[in-house]
Structure 1
Amino acid sequence: MSDVSTLEQNKQVVRRYYHEMVSGQRIDLLAELVAEDAADETIVGVGGSGSREDFRQHLLTLWGNVPDVRATVEDLLAEGDRVIAYWRIEGTHSGPVFGVPATGRPFTGLSISQLTLKDGQVVRYNVLPDRLGILRQLTAAAV
């Protein structure tokens, strides 16, 4: 398989991760898209196990706190075994997000994620969300 086709396949896995699994709330895709021993670095180090279960918990928490979440990939860059995703998150704040109790407010934010893939599955995930922008929307005085 050529390097170009591997890069395109990795990008397709990442698109599916956000569009089908996160936005579509399809937990059934977890075993297909994420390796059993994958590291969700948003959880590892704060009680995570360093396994697919961390991804499951991350998704269930997200869906519980933002039940109408939409994750839209704006751009993807791939190099070697890594894909950088620039994506938009939108939804309604229905549970704690970044320590802020539910407000019922809609919000949107941009994030940059780094996903490392092996054999067509995510093996490492890290995200840098626009926490400040999201927090400003959630904590702004009601108009």
Structure 2
Amino acid sequence: MLAPCRVYNELTMNKQIQILYFFIITCILSCSNENKQLTANINMYSNTWDEVLNNGKLDLINDEHFDTNVTLLMSPENIVGIENVKDFYANYLNGFSDIEFSIVDIFGQGDKMVKHWHFKGKHTGEFFGIPATGKSVDIDGVTLIGMKNDKIALEQDFMDNMDFMQQLGILSNPDNVVVINTLYNAFAAGDIPSVLKLLDANVVWNEAEGNIYAKGNPYLGPDAVLNVVFTPIGKDYDYFNLENIELHEMYENQVLASLRYKGKLKKNGAHIDAQVAHLWTLKNNKIIGFQQYVDTKQLADANKK
């Protein structure tokens, strides 16, 4: 006959095992349900934004897919409510054509999700009051997402807004001035190879109309600039200096330089001291365009002496 204590211990142990089994099964079922819900949320979310942005179905921003108080976290003021969110994204659909929106990756836990997205489009319409620029944009970003009762309740986007504005041509790349300053320093040191390296392979170069070096305008590519502008200047002048250079950052990735040419012609010893402006256009830290403005009468008169 089993001792009472032993019987009690065995019963207690069996009870504990049953509780443990119940706990494990509950956790498995709970995790399974959570995973199913997360999968459903991801599918609904992904399909909704695919239809809205790629197919222009703005009316899918409704109370079937979005919480009544859906909120876009923004600075300086959040956007709250389905109609306001719809108005916000209407700017993208009206402002861009050839839209390609894709979710690169999306994952989450519970009611919280994170997506990595990619957006491409051409700015052909008004975008938050900005007139069409005709520029194409190609931008990546990340969004933090909050779900509530199987609906989209919260979004917060993170993206490089400066890069976005630069691609639109609204802001210029701050490195542009550095590139042009580097070019003038290389020119001053007589380092023409370094100057040419800063020119895009398809650079379009225009000397001022009336300048003796402008006969073949526009010159295309670094070799043409070297052969028709830089080399002749080296042959024609005892010295040719760029002085009093001031750089001014412009919009659409342009830099305006105001300066003076000071030089001495070899053939007659005539001196020049001319007021000049250079307009540089850049893309991806390379010079794609140049336009010279100069007192061409002074240059012509010096060549006649």
TM-score > 0.5, shorter chain as reference: yes
Q: Report which of the two structures shows the higher radius of gyration computed on alpha carbons.
A: 2
Deviation at 1:132, TM superposition (A): 2.6
- Calculate the TM-score normalised by the size of structure 2: 0.42
- Aligned Cα RMSD in Å? 2.4
Residue correspondences, number: 141
Deviation at 1:116, TM superposition (A): 0.7
- How do 1:35-50 residues align onto structure 2 when only pairs under 5 Å count? 35-42=67-74, 45=77, 48=79, 50=80
Deviation at 1:53, TM superposition (A): 1.2
Task: Report what 1:23 is aligned to.
Answer: 54
Report Cα offsets for 1:72-95 as digits up to 9, x if no partner. 000002112111110001100124
Structure (1 or 2) with the greater helix fraction: 2
Q: Partners in 2 of 1:34 and 1:52 — Cα distance?
A: 7
Higher relative contact order (CA 8 A, sep 6+): 1
Q: Partners in 2 of 1:79 and 1:44 — Cα distance?
A: 29
Task: Report what 2:155 is aligned to.
Answer: 125
User: Which stretch of structure 1 is more off in the superposition, 97-106 or 51-60?
Assistant: 97-106
The answer to whether 1:33 aligns with 2:57 is no
Task: Report what 1:105 is aligned to.
Answer: 135
CA 1:132 to 1:67, structure 2 compared with 1: closer, same or farther past 3 Å? same
1:51 to 72, 76, 81: 81
CA contact 1:91–1:107 (8 Å) conserved in 2: yes
Q: Which residue identity is paired with 2:120? A: E
Q: Partners in 2 of 1:100 and 1:107 — Cα distance?
A: 14
1:12 to 43, 52, 55: 43
CA contact 1:14–1:83 (8 Å) conserved in 2: no
Report Cα offsets for 1:108-141 as digits up to 9, x if no partner. 1001011111122101111112223222322254
- Calculate the TM-score normalised by the size of structure 1: 0.84
CA contact 2:124–2:133 (8 Å) conserved in 1: yes
The answer to whether 1:137 aligns with 2:137 is no
Which ranges in structure 1 are unaligned for 5 or more consecutive residues?
Answer: none
CA 1:43 to 1:58, structure 2 compared with 1: closer, same or farther past 3 Å? farther
Report Cα offsets for 1:29-61 as digits up to 9, x if no partner. 112221121112238826x4x211121111111
CA contact 1:38–1:123 (8 Å) conserved in 2: yes
User: Which stretch of structure 1 is more off in the superposition, 85-94 or 125-134?
Assistant: 125-134
User: Which stretch of structure 1 is more off in the superposition, 117-126 or 34-43?
Assistant: 34-43
Q: Which residue identity is paired with 1:135? A: M
Q: Partners in 2 of 1:125 and 1:54 — Cα distance?
A: 13
Q: Secondary structure at the match of 2:132?
A: coil
Deviation at 1:96, TM superposition (A): 5.3
Task: Report what 2:249 is aligned to.
Answer: none
